[in-house]
Amino acid sequence: MGLLSAVARVASKNLSKLSDDGMKGSVVSGVPNYIPGYYGPTEAVKEAGTSAILQEKIGGFAGVAGEGIKNAAKMQMPYNRAVYRDTGVNRPLMQSPKQTPANRTMQEEVTARALANRHISEQSGRKGPNVLDEVLERSAYTDYIPMEKGFYGVANKFNKGTAKQKITKDESAKLEDYMARVWNTKTLMDRFKGKPGEKLGFKRNNKFVLKRPQGTISGNHWNDMVNRSVFSNVARDVFGKKMKDPKSVDELADRLKKVKWTEVDKKGVKHKRVGVPGIEKDTDGVWFSFSKAGSAITEGGVNFRVKIKPDGNGFGVMSDEHNFLEVLPGMSTALPNKVLAATPPMHFNIKKTRPMQTGGAKPKRGRPAKPNKYVNKSWQEFGPEGNQNLDEFLNTIKPSDSTLRKERLKALGKGGMLGLGASALYSHE
């Protein structure tokens, strides 16, 4: 008893300055952020019918939950805790088996895990250094910006298109208001009672990042927008071959209300629709919206807000709230802050963007955007020598000797309760 008491006293003394803020999000971030079958069934399962679709979804949830529980247990190991405290990296998560389909690479999945890990750190309020900032920099133009009025004002600096294409302050404000109300967090009780949940709103503790619209690994949101049924059928039914442009905003809105398009639900069933969603007339154009599963693993379902003018010019913005786990009980406490990602305005002329539907000419390459400090570095250039891919880099990260020593002392202090032995204390697994 004397020895154990002495160990406890030493551990307490050494850990008095070791803040728990550095460990916020360490357990929650260990849940893989891809659920097989959640955003739609695979083709094989779709053909097998409703029962197989349901089984795939339930199995996907169970598998991810099981992996999250295992990773939570692994995060109690001193080495893993020390890595997280020093770097913000959830090591068990990065070492989890592949969850995504065969058409996705492990590099894509690890990138998505790293981004989710970084977002959860921000949502949890974690304090301390974070090596995943570099991953965020390569997928987004900005760091985390407080979601106060005017947060989207930075977007004009990074427009996709020519340097002359900008949105107005009024358009920026309308996009802000739209994103703040369209995204909401639903608890299990909200879902059970059919309630809308808590809107994102304008809150300083909630954060916004301006995401790159096109990336080799982080998602191609431009293609996600222009290749959707809604967008293509707007081109066909409003600006189609041998059709004259609408003469006014009112006529444009009337045509948009008659557009025929196809919606695919989470069971893979196609539904015929008439009229594009979210129509709202503006002084010089009409707004509409649609949703889909994003091309990036980090995003599940994403939303597009599009404004188009009678001459076919317009722009669209992809947005996505990082709300993967918020439905679970206790998450409002574990993740008190919210994170929203959105692209800059992606400008287009629908006749040139969809020439097959409209008979328009293919677009000419526009003048590239002005260089900025957030350069789009290669996903293969990580590590001290810049010669590692992200997966390799994250698996070579080590904690400092001092942090590891403190975590081992902490584990010794509660070893009786947890049943930790010497092998566990010094294990890297």
Q: Which of 214-218, 365-369, 393-397 comes out lowest in average pLDDT?
A: 365-369
128 lies in the same domain as 232? no
212 lies in the same domain as 244? yes
In a domain, 32, yes or no: yes
Give 3-state DSSP helix, strand, coil % of the chain, rounded to 5: 45, 15, 40
Residue type at position 170: D
User: pLDDT tens across 298-322, in order?
Assistant: 445 789 999 999 999 999 999 999 9
162 lies in the same domain as 134? no
In a domain, 300, yes or no: yes
Domains contained in the chain, number:
2
Residue 195 has pLDDT above 90, yes or no: no
In a domain, 49, yes or no: yes
Whole-angstrom Cα distance, residue 329 to residue 288? 34
Structural contact between residues 138 and 147, judged by C-beta atoms closer than 8 angstroms: no
In a domain, 187, yes or no: yes
**pLDDT top residue among 287 and 391:** 287
75 lies in the same domain as 181? no
Residue 272: helix, strand or coil by DSSP? strand
296 lies in the same domain as 324? yes
Which pLDDT value is given to residue 44? 59
In a domain, 420, yes or no: yes
Structural contact between residues 206 and 340, judged by C-beta atoms closer than 8 angstroms: yes
Phi-psi region of 338 (alpha: psi -120 to 50; beta: other; left: phi over 0): beta
Residues 6 or more apart whose Cβ sits within 8 Å of residue 136:
115, 118, 143, 209
Whole-angstrom Cα distance, residue 87 to residue 280? 45
User: pLDDT tens across 386-420, in order?
Assistant: 888 898 999 889 999 999 999 999 988 765 445 55
Residue 234 has pLDDT above 70, yes or no: yes
Which pLDDT value is given to residue 384? 82
In a domain, 367, yes or no: no
Residue 46 has pLDDT above 90, yes or no: no
Structural contact between residues 109 and 98, judged by C-beta atoms closer than 8 angstroms: yes
User: pLDDT tens across 94-124, in order?
Assistant: 999 988 888 788 888 899 999 999 999 999 9
Residue 17 has pLDDT above 50, yes or no: no
67 lies in the same domain as 156? no
User: pLDDT tens across 249-267, in order?
Assistant: 999 999 999 999 998 776 6
Q: Return mean pLDDT, the chain.
A: 83
Which pLDDT value is given to residue 425? 62
175 lies in the same domain as 319? yes
175 lies in the same domain as 264? yes
Whole-angstrom Cα distance, residue 146 to residue 275? 35
129 lies in the same domain as 150? no
210 lies in the same domain as 354? yes
H/E element, 15: helix 2-15
60 lies in the same domain as 165? no
pLDDT category at 38 given cuts 50, 70, 90 is low
User: pLDDT tens across 343-357, in order?
Assistant: 999 999 999 999 999
The parent domain of residue 309 ranges over 145-358
Contacts 24+ apart (CB under 8 A), 5-8: 7/409, 7/412, 7/413, 8/412, 8/413
Q: State which of 358, 393, 408 marks the end of a domain.
A: 358
In a domain, 21, yes or no: yes
Give the number of residues written for the chain. Answer: 429
In a domain, 371, yes or no: no
Q: State which of 310, 327, 358 marks the end of a domain.
A: 358
Q: Dig out the tokens for 212 from the structure.
A: 């790159």
Global pTM value? 0.84
